[in-house]
Amino acid sequence: MTRPLDSLRPHFYKARPLGAVLLALWAAASGAEVVNGAQLPDGAQKVGENRYRASRDFEATLDYYKTVYPSSSYPRRSIVNQPGVKAVHITNPSGKNFEGLNIYEANEEVRIYVVPLQGAAKPAKKDAKPVRKTK
């Protein structure tokens, strides 16, 4: 619905989808990398398959994931009980793309492991020609 503005012009005001445009620009500018559907913090470096080194300390990385994946929707649990090692598992309740995230600190380094789906089957290799048995 359009309403006249308090102006001398006889034109009507139309609300523009400015919020959606700003949100899209913010998401593009943030540069957050997404791996298998899991979002990684800025500055994360790949160190292996599904393994990343965070550029922040452990507490800052957990704070980042509290905003990206709120604890009310994404349950968390401690997974290591050793002195000098901190580790938290964030479960993905939807089960789409990834099972969860493991965030851990060891040797003064913070790592993130994207836990892949267990039921994800790898595609079978196709042979060029089928093998026929002869009698």
The pLDDT tens digits of the residues spanning 12-48 come to: 555 556 555 555 445 444 556 888 889 999 899 999 9
Mean pLDDT over 75-99 rounds to 89
Alpha-carbon span 5 to 11, nearest angstrom: 8
**What residue spans define the domains of the chain?**
39-116
SS3 129: coil
Q: What is the pTM of this model?
A: 0.64
CATH number for region 39-116: 3.30.160
Instruction: Give strand ranges (E) for the chain.
Output: 3-4, 12-13, 33-35, 38-40, 45-48, 51-53, 76-78, 86-91, 98-106, 109-116
